[in-house]
């Protein structure tokens, strides 16, 4: 009956949107059209056909300010859209009659082996999306054997996340304006056994998150019921920064430059990955400074509004790295075909952010597990369709750049 009611309601609203009677009502035609196109929401994680099915459920569950923080890009969100559109630049060249009865999706990276090349990106303020926050995501990563990278603005301590994951997680660093505070966070992560420090460098110039600000203005909810402050305000109950111990100040002089990379390497035996590299030149400089991995990212469209997708950055970065270090890429990944294209263009692994947070906001840990299951299944399927039985076989020859086509 519920399905019939929803279908009938959409049909009625579609009729009104097209009706000349609408001219006599003081309501915009687009309002009816949007309501008519409202999707049926899945009732359980197992009902999802793709990762997009979790998005409207999460949106329904979350406060407007929390949703705005999750979905925002910078300026007009143009680079958020560009990250998705970038995948359309590449077509797949698939092969036939290959024995794909056994497909190995495992990958080795920085001394560890993972069952798939899909990792869970560092994202802040998980408790804004579900009461169990990062712990639920860590348990999902444990259940599905995925790499989880904890963010500096996490709403759960790295100690609790490590316990939930059952092994050390990578730690993503936003440096502080005081070196002693930055060093405290590094040493805290190091004490939990974290093997890799991921320094994010794509937000050093700031970002103009209009969607987030507009959503906060519409939200009158009292945030103290679920966390301190609002996501993105710097006061969200974030243990890595809230629990810094008093120490003699060591203020920074200006923003970090390439010299800062040496300081980080000298401060810890953890491997160092730079997150936010999008050009050949910076990839080459990063390797000259001894980084252990390069992460192609524009922060999911939340950093600069370059209008350049990360998938389009992968070929030049991978060419500069030339196999000397792993190349990670995130931003806009929603399908198994997206992952395949990135691997073919030279990426070692890919990261997802918003999709697993949609799953978290929709159904908690179960939703996160379902999201990674869907992507794993889709990647395995496209590998079979293409005739690639392991990741090493996914090469540049399997993709075609539309812009390189004659007459394009």
Cα–Cα separations (whole angstroms), residue 169 to 165, 186, 299, 357: 7, 13, 20, 18
Q: What share of the chain is helix, strand, coil (3-state, %, to 5)?
A: 50, 10, 40
Q: Which residues are the active-site residues?
A: 299
Specify burial of residue 373 (Cβ count, 10 A radius: 0-12, 13-18, 19+): middle
d(CA 52, CA 68): 17
Contact 355, 334 (CB under 8 A): yes
290: helix, coil or strand?
coil
Cβ burial of 366 (10 Å; 0-12, 13-18, 19+) is: middle
* Cβ-based burial of 279 (10 A; exposed 0-12, middle 13-18, buried ≥19): middle
- Contacts (Cβ under 8 Å, ≥6 apart) of 399: 90, 91, 92, 93, 341, 344, 345
Distance of alpha carbon 321 from alpha carbon 308, whole angstroms: 20
The partner residues of 200 in beta bridges, in order of sequence, read 275
CA atoms within 13 A on the CB side of 408: 9
Reported as half-sphere exposure (CB side, CA atoms, 13 A), residue 246 has a value of 0
Q: Are residues 103 and 246 in contact, defined by beta-carbon separation less than 8 angstroms?
A: no
110 and 292 Cβ atoms separated by less than 8 Å: yes
DSSP structural state of residue 234: T
| H-state helical runs in 132-178 | 133-144, 158-165
């Amino acid at each position: 009956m519920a399905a019939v009611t929803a279908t009938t309601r959409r049909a009625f609203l579609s009729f009104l949107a097209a009706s000349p009677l609408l001219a006599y009502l003081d309501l915009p035609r687009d309002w009816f059209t949007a309501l008519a196109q409202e999707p049926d929401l899945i009732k359980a994680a197992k009902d999802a056909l793709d990762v997009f099915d979790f998005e409207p459920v999460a949106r329904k569950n979350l406060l407007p300010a929390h949703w705005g923080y999750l979905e925002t890009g910078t300026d007009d969100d143009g680079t958020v859209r560009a990250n998705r559109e970038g995948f359309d630049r590449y077509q797949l060249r698939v092969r036939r009659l290959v024995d794909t009865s056994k497909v190995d999706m495992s990958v080795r990276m920085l001394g560890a082996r993972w069952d798939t090349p899909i990792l869970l990106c560092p994202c802040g303020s998980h408790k804004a999306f579900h009461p169990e926050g990062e712990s639920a995501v860590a348990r999902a990563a444990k259940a599905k054997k995925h790499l989880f990278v904890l963010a500096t603005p996490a709403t759960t301590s790295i100690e609790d996340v490590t316990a939930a994951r059952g092994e050390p997680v990578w730690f993503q660093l936003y440096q502080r304006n005081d070196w002693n505070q930055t060093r405290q966070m590094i040493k805290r992560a190091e004490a939990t056994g974290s093997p890799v420090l991921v320094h994010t460098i794509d937000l050093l110039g700031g970002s103009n998150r209009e969607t987030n600000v507009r959503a906060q203005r519409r939200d009158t909810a009292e945030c103290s019921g679920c966390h301190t402050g609002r996501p993105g305000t710097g006061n969200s109950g974030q243990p890595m920064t809230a629990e810094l111990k008093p120490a003699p100040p060591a203020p920074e002089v200006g923003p970090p430059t390439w010299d800062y990379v040496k300081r980080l390497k000298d401060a810890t035996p953890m491997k160092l990955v730079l997150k936010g590299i999008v050009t050949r030149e910076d990839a080459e400089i990063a390797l000259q400074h001894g980084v252990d991995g390069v992460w192609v990212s524009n922060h999911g469209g939340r950093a600069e509004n370059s209008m350049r997708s990360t998938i389009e950055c992968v070929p030049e970065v991978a060419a500069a790295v030339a196999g000397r270090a792993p190349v990670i890429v995130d931003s806009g990944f929603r399908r198994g075909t997206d992952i395949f294209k990135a691997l073919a263009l030279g990426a070692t692994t890919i990261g997802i952010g918003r999709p697993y947070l949609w799953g978290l906001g929709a159904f908690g840990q179960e939703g996160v597990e379902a999201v990674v299951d869907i992507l794993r299944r889709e990647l395995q399927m496209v590998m079979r369709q293409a005739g690639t039985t392991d990741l090493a076989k996914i090469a540049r020859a399997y993709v075609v750049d539309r812009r390189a086509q004659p007459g394009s």
